[in-house]
Chain A
Amino acid sequence: MMEKMSEENIEDVRVLEAQIEHLQAEVAALQRQQQDNHKDITFHLRGHMQDAMSYVCGQKQAGEKEKVLSKLTEEVEELEEDLKRQTQMNGISLNSCTTKTLQSSGRQLVQQLCVSGHCSELVFQVEFQLSEVKKGQRSERTISDLNVVMDTSDLQNFSSFLSGVEESRDLLLFFRTLRTFSDRCDDRRRTFQHFQEKYPSVVSLPGGCRSAVMTLNHPELPGCVLFVHWSVEVSREGRVTPKIELLTKIPEKALQLFPSQAVSGAAEAFQSLLRILGPEAAVESVIMAVSLSQDT
């Protein structure tokens, strides 16, 4: 009987040892997979996120769910507030940012980022590679492979700047310029809308309030039209310059009636007016003149 018992035990031991070897191999494979997962920075979880992960993976205790949920909700709400603040302060609204970790070692991290969003009405999508290399205490960040996508059908003057910025990888310059350009376009839109509301009979916006052209004409003189052409130009360097010009469309007959420079020289005169009064006041004086109003 004694010998039978020892035989069984030896058999059990052998079976268990085999099972353990198999399990160890499984665990090693799973650990390798997990290490790969951890290389993705986005899903590198810490703090309350790690607690939440532990909960979901089965380390459940009584009352744990509410605690984990409330802590995480609090943190998410703080992050939402933070995002709202950054959006407002930076004047840029981001819809999405996806990151792909291409390389992650102790000293170097290379990621591919795709960021999309809009600045006022201007929609963009930016893709680039970001490398972070640790050099002593500091880390050096560099951008490479910058690709910018924007609907430039309305933005002829923007496209030369865009290709320049992709070449020079000046990501920050792109966003600074985008914002300034957007601000200047908003200035124009506000001014145009303001004048259209104030002088509806004289002012019209044939291309809409976001276009570059505002036309002025007196309803009783349909043949004589003045165009305020307000373009926002962007140099290759990223300098944003609003340029306002006055163009006239006066029939020959009318010009013959007024040989003085007052009508034909209107464009130049407007430039002087611009320099003295600034854009809004200069445009308003022209409007007043066209509307033949008695006010100064």
Chain B
Amino acid sequence: MLFFSSSLYISMYCLLPDFKLSNAYNFNLTCTKAASIISSRSMDFPSTLFVPSRTMGTYEPIHQIGLWGENFKSIGSPNISPSVIFDVANKLENESETTSHELLAPSSKYDQEASKPFDKIQRRLAQNREAARKSRLRKKAYVQQLENSRLKLIQLEQELERARQQQCLYAGGAIEVGHLGISGALNSGITAFEMEYERWMEEQNKQICDLRSALNAQISDIELHILVESGMSHYLELFRMKSSVAKADVFYVMSGTWKTSAERFFSWIGGFRPSELLKVLVPQIDPLTDHQILEVCNLKQSCQQAEDALSQGMEKLRETVSATLASGQMGQGTYLPQVAMAMEKLEALVNFVNQADHLRKETLQQMSYILTTRQAARGLLALGEYIQRLQALSTVWANRPHGPAKLTVENVR
């Protein structure tokens, strides 16, 4: 997985129509403020920070580590050492309350000083320089990777040519191609998506941060509404991205390759099952009025019915593709007609993925109608944090000790 800094995304964000420079600056500012709080405490902190807390709302995401600590990759990579995490967690046991409080409300001490414009400008300039530097490094790494991929592709094409010349059955050659697989267009569609998704995830985590601060700071409903709207359109953006890459490679979306392993465990037609998410999130939004409870109940039921219908449709699709592929005599080694027919059937998969995403979108939309602004904010925060927990689970799982050892701090090394 490629490592992209917030700076690269910020520069790319400029290309998006609804990019707000203020968001990028606020994001950098918040993280820098937080980082300076940590360093000012002159503690023996590594640049990782893991602040455990009992309730969902004050949980510090591990994902932020990738942004504050320069050497850390994003959450999908197995390279984050949980030993560091658990280590720091133990050290922080006594500090967690005050630290999390300060992180959540950095405004207390710093905003007064930061209100001086000169300081702000200096800070922004420094951040910009840093961001530009990181951006150049990222670009270099990316170009290098592209070059490597290009060389690999040439190599593989040569191998294929050799195999063809040896008069293998075309079918055999086709299998080779399948494994290699991919035309340039396909590959670039996926690469583009993966880049966009990393950006999306960073923005997502920033929004979670903002929501958390906002809810703790008791801001007005009007301001909260803006955050909720941002959150909603951010998810819509994800669905647009998924729709685009589904056209390029629907199997990529179905397999959830861009997600972490725990997220994939819950995958249903390329994403979460909306009714499952409702079950997870509704208790976090309590208290609800009786009327709201009824509406949410109905929504959940409608959702489940729609999901069942799509699941059964998918089952039928699998049967159809299987039957098509298995038609005619087997054993002669020639099967192009069956493969061609199955291809046609498989095209319906794109429609199913789109329908599933449509269902997710609609569920989100309906919830936003049923809930008050504050409830919707809590819901979005809970959803974001739930995903972060899944991602954390994936990382820790990937690094778990093998064998019967218990997961204690000592053993995790």
Asked if A and B are interacting partners, one says: no
Residues of B within 8 A of A (CB): none
Residues of A within 8 A of B (CB): none
